[in-house]
């Protein structure tokens, strides 16, 4: 059972239209409901959608019909600049699998564009990409506008350098707009983004959140198919269609919000108490230091030297010395930590020749993540 992540108070504090944001569309197998995304070449497959990319960038196709063909064209959005060359395929055949929604990658192509004309001194070249993909019940064409950085000397296409920190003055603004604006850190409940009032039009329709769960890694993509978000928008995690079932614990590690160059990275560890009427709770990250890992050689009948360890964020939890026996890790003895989190770990006397494996573990609780150390390998002669 998953915990409900949006409290009534939090939802009431936001306009109804913004409280959850539009859910990602799931493609209909009978029509083309796909999405194209623009990505940096070092962020392939992350379902990101970047409003500013470098000289060389990628287009990715998600959730399209099986075996569709997409025709790609680029158009300069500055009448003083012309696109004179396109390096990359302008006809792309997509994967043969059926449409499976916004997380289903069906195609990718890398592009470098050549330009005639001067770029914006800080933002680069303003470009519109249009794809025409067959097999749709509705409109075949999809388009996005974004900024492309000029190529540096020695890159595939000519240019005068890569923009560093694009700025733009928004409507009613008296100070330059910064593309490095920041949003609040995520919580166990959700990500809350306060979009700047002067954010340029069309630059806020994607949010990506990477989460490590006890069921595996998941990247949640929130995509606004109807336009762009504004004001303060809340993006809850467990109500997202891509959230795996029966998750007991998870750690939020990375966030990308369209419309800013800033990416949040860190660790917000969380656990659910199984009650859908209460929010999930943050967990302290447990760390164990001082335990010896690697290999150690001993004579038969000897005892491995004791280790002085320190456990952070474990409170009064018991540390377990585990031994690999019969193909599984089994508890060999328990060690109680002091109020300061310190302990002395002693080992059993080893009377049998061969290889003996040991490690320490601290159990997960509702308020701490738990931890498992690396392995100490003891070879007895």
The CATH number covering residue 243 comes to: 2.60.40
Domain count, the chain: 3
Same domain, 266 and 309: no
Is the per-residue pLDDT at 351 higher than 90? yes
pLDDT per position as a tens digit, 195-228: 988 888 778 888 999 999 888 899 999 998 888 8
Domain assignment of residue 106, given as a range = 21-168
**378 or 63, greater pLDDT:** 378
Most confident of 14-28, 151-165, 293-307: 293-307
Name the pLDDT band for 302 (thresholds 50, 70, 90).
very high
Same domain, 321 and 357: yes
Same domain, 120 and 251: no
**287 or 104, greater pLDDT:** 287
Same domain, 273 and 256: yes
Name the pLDDT band for 324 (thresholds 50, 70, 90).
very high
- Overall average pLDDT of the 51-58 stretch: 85
- Overall average pLDDT of the 71-91 stretch: 89
Q: What pLDDT does 123 receive?
A: 86
- Overall average pLDDT of the 128-153 stretch: 78
Evaluate whether residue 181 is within a structural domain.
Answer: no
Encoded tokens for 275: 């009650």
Evaluate whether residue 176 is within a structural domain.
Answer: no
Is the per-residue pLDDT at 104 higher than 60? yes
Evaluate whether residue 178 is within a structural domain.
Answer: no
Evaluate whether residue 9 is within a structural domain.
Answer: no
Is the per-residue pLDDT at 187 higher than 80? yes
Evaluate whether residue 307 is within a structural domain.
Answer: yes
Evaluate whether residue 1 is within a structural domain.
Answer: no
Is the per-residue pLDDT at 160 higher than 70? no
């Amino acid at each position: 059972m998953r915990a409900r992540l949006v409290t009534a108070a939090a939802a009431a504090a936001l306009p109804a239209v913004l409280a959850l944001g539009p859910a990602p569309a799931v493609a209909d197998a009978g029509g083309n409901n796909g999405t194209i995304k623009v990505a940096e070449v070092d962020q392939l497959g992350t379902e990101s959608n970047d409003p500013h990319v470098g000289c060389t960038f990628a287009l990715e196709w998600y959730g399209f019909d099986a075996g569709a063909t997409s025709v790609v064209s680029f158009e300069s959005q500055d009448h003083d600049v012309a696109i004179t060359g396109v390096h990359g395929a302008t006809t792309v055949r997509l994967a043969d699998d059926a449409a499976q929604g916004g997380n289903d990658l069906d195609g990718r192509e890398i592009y470098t564009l050549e330009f005639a004309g001067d770029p914006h001194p800080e933002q680069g070249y303003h470009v519109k990409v249009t794809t025409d993909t067959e097999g749709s019940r509705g409109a075949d064409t999809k388009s996005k506008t974004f900024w492309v950085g000029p190529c540096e000397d020695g890159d595939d296409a000519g240019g005068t350098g890569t923009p560093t920190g694009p700025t733009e003055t928004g409507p009613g603004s008296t100070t330059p707009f910064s593309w490095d604006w920041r949003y609040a850190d995520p919580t166990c409940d959700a990500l809350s983004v306060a979009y700047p009032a002067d954010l340029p039009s069309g630059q806020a329709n994607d949010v990506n959140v990477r989460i490590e769960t006890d069921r595996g890694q998941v990247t949640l993509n929130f995509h606004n198919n109807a336009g762009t978000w504004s004001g303060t928008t809340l993006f809850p995690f467990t109500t997202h269609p891509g959230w795996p079932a029966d998750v007991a614990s998870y750690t939020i590690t990375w966030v990308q919000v369209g419309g800013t160059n800033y990416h949040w990275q860190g660790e917000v560890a969380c656990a659910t108490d199984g009650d859908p009427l209460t929010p999930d709770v943050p967990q302290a990250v447990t760390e164990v230091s001082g335990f010896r890992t690697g290999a150690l050689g001993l004579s038969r009948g000897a005892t491995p030297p004791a280790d002085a360890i320190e456990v952070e964020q474990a409170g009064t939890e018991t540390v377990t010395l585990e031994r690999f026996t019969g193909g599984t890790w089994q508890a060999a003895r328990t060690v109680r930590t002091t109020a300061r989190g310190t302990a002395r770990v002693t080992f059993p006397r080893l009377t049998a020749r061969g290889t003996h494996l040991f490690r320490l573990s601290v159990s997960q609780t509702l308020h701490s993540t738990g931890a498992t150390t690396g392995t100490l390998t003891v070879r007895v002669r």
